[in-house]
């Protein structure tokens, strides 16, 4: 059955545009999903459909209808999953390097979503659409490590709200080029899509979003540095873009790194090491950590030996 939400516009919200207002009151839904609802006349006031530029008036009630998810064409596949935790609301998965999170052009099979559809037997949140069921946040194909998956919409909304409020802890480890003057630091630079190459992200003030990455040096080995990184925000390619922007691209990164890429790594040396969050159902604080994978450990051993 379709879901209906009604939101009363408060005086302090008057004058705000509809498309900027909705994500603040429905944090579990992406901007693109809400935009589609507006275009599909699923967002109304007193029965009349609204456009995205509608200016809110104090006291009016905005109704939003979330239609049932479209039938999913992506097929379940029996793919082994490394699951660190699972209950009726969510699961925490340790994603291997090279696995795509959700289907996209050129990758409609073998993805994490294909595996989840088989494992969860259809019990996944539908908020992010038919292609990304259960996916609350993502990591790149060639980034390994921890992901949280929502099994129902209530859990999804609760987890997404924590990400938006920056109370969802995510730490990574990476090997990057160069040495650091300071052992800790913060990169606070907005990230948006590159106008020169739409497949890439970049530091820019045009059509961008705030992005903050904190880093800590764990070890230095010749021309490389082993870092721990903590995300305050979660933009596409955030760590890779931020590190490249300060002259320390991630080793093995074929997109943002040097032209002469370290091919033995088969992608960036970047691992989602730990996550921490409040369980949206029980209120319990949970945290999980993933061991560094073999490709990462092997590369660390190699650069350590080179310094002996």
What's the whole-model pTM score?
Answer: 0.78
DSSP state, 99? -
pLDDT, residue 103, reads 83
DSSP string, 128-171: T-SSSTTBSS---TT-EEEEEEESSHHHHHHHHHHHHTT-SEEE
Query: Boundaries of CATH 3.30.2350.10 in the chain?
Result: 69-165, 168-308
Q: Assign domain 168-308 to its CATH superfamily.
A: Pseudouridine synthase (3.30.2350.10)
The CATH code of the domain at 69-165 is: 3.30.2350.10
To the nearest whole percent, how much of the chain has pLDDT over 70? 96
Q: Which residues of the chain fall short of a pLDDT of 70?
A: 1-2, 28, 68-72, 105-106
In three-state form (DSSP H/G/I as H, E/B as E, the rest C), the secondary structure along 6-29 is EEECCHHHCCCEHHHHHHHHCCCC
pLDDT, residue 19, reads 87
pLDDT, residue 308, reads 81
- What is the four-CA torsion angle of 3, 4, 5, 6, rounded to 10 degrees? -170
Query: Boundaries of CATH 3.10.290.10 in the chain?
Result: 3-66
Strands (DSSP E) contained in the chain are 3-8, 43-45, 48-49, 61-66, 83-86, 90-95, 144-150, 169-177, 184-188, 191-193, 201-203, 208-209, 212-221, 224-231, 270-278, 285-289
- Whether 296 contacts 302, CB under 8 Å: no
Report the CATH fold assignment for 3-66.
3.10.290
pLDDT, residue 2, reads 57
Q: Which residues are catalytic?
A: 140
pLDDT, residue 69, reads 62
């Amino acid at each position: 059955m379709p879901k209906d939400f009604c939101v009363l516009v408060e005086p302090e919200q008057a004058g705000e545009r509809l498309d900027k207002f909705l994500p603040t009151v429905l944090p579990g839904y992406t901007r693109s999903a809400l935009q589609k609802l507006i275009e599909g006349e699923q967002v109304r006031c007193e029965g009349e459909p609204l456009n995205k530029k509608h200016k809110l008036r104090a006291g009016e009630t905005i109704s939003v209808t979330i239609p049932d998810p479209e039938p999913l064409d992506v097929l379940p596949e029996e793919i082994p999953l490394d699951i660190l935790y699972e209950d009726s609301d969510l699961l925490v998965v340790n994603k291997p390097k090279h696995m795509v999170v959700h289907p996209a052009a050129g990758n409609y099979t073998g993805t994490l979503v294909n595996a989840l559809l088989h494992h969860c037997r259809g019990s996944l949140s539908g908020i992010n659409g038919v292609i990304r069921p259960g996916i609350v946040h993502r990591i790149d194909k060639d980034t390994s490590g921890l992901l949280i998956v929502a099994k129902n919409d209530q859990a999804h909304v609760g987890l997404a709200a924590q990400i938006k409020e920056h109370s969802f802890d995510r730490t990574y480890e990476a090997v990057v080029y160069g040495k650091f003057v300071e052992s800790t630091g913060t990169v606070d630079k907005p990230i948006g899509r590159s106008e020169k190459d739409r497949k890439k992200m970049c530091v820019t003030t045009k059509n961008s979003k705030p992005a903050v990455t904190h880093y800590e040096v764990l070890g230095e080995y010749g021309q490389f540095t082993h870092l721990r990184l903590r995300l305050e925000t979660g933009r596409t390619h955030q760590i890779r873009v931020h590190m490249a922007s300060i002259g320390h691209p991630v080793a093995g990164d074929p997109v943002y790194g040097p032209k002469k890429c370290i091919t033995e790594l088969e992608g960036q040396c970047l691992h989602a090491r730990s996550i921490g969050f409040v369980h949206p159902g029980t209120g319990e604080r949970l945290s999980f950590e993933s061991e560094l994978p073999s490709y990462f450990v092997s590369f660390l051993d190699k650069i350590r030996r080179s310094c002996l």
